[in-house]
Amino acid sequence: MRLNAYLDYNHCFSYPRKSLPKSNYSITPINLRLIGLKVLFVCRANSRRSQAAAGIFNSISTKHTAMSAGLEVALEEREGLPIKQDNIDIMRSMGYDISGGVRKQLTKSMIDEADQVVWMLEKEKVPRYLSNSGKLVFMEVENPSDMNEVMRRDNILQVERKVKEFAASLEG
């Protein structure tokens, strides 16, 4: 009998030996590609677009995982702050739960750990170390910060459509 190891987002752990049945077994290393890709969605403030994209992606993908970050979170001194309540409410009305999400600053280590980086900002803002990595995917979605509620909802619907297309491309 083969037993795979348990995988969370960043680490692999093997099951404790005492919890295994007494039989012939071996613990084999996990190939992360067999389990799925790590996808990183990036926007400016990590309060709307990338949070929505990661929430949608994680609820529809059975194989891959996503997280989100913002390019200017630390610049605005918003690291660890909750995401916008109106975004949580819009997502909830669409059947997605992103409550409890907090803003995270994009770091090089996040990019290094990701298999795909979905850039939701202007192309000229891509860091040099990412631009030639082969991980970069552009997803054009307008920044909703100056939009009214109806326009923000339409913006999230656009994110949902694009994320579903992206997820389907990974599955196929």
* pLDDT: which is higher, 165 or 27: 165
Distance CA 74, CA 140 (A): 23
Q: What is the mean pLDDT of the chain?
A: 82
Distance CA 130, CA 56 (A): 24
List domains and CATH numbers for the chain: 1-32 (no CATH), 36-171 (3.40.50.2300)
pLDDT at 139: 97
Q: Which pLDDT band, with edges at 50, 70 and 90, does 162 fall under?
A: very high
| Integer Rg of the chain from CA | 18
* Tens digits of residue pLDDT in 6-46: 333 333 323 333 333 333 333 333 344 356 899 999 999 99
Alpha helices in the chain (DSSP H): 32-35, 49-60, 85-93, 108-113, 128-131, 149-171
Structure tokens at 146: 């100056």
pTM, entire model: 0.79
Distance CA 35, CA 11 (A): 13
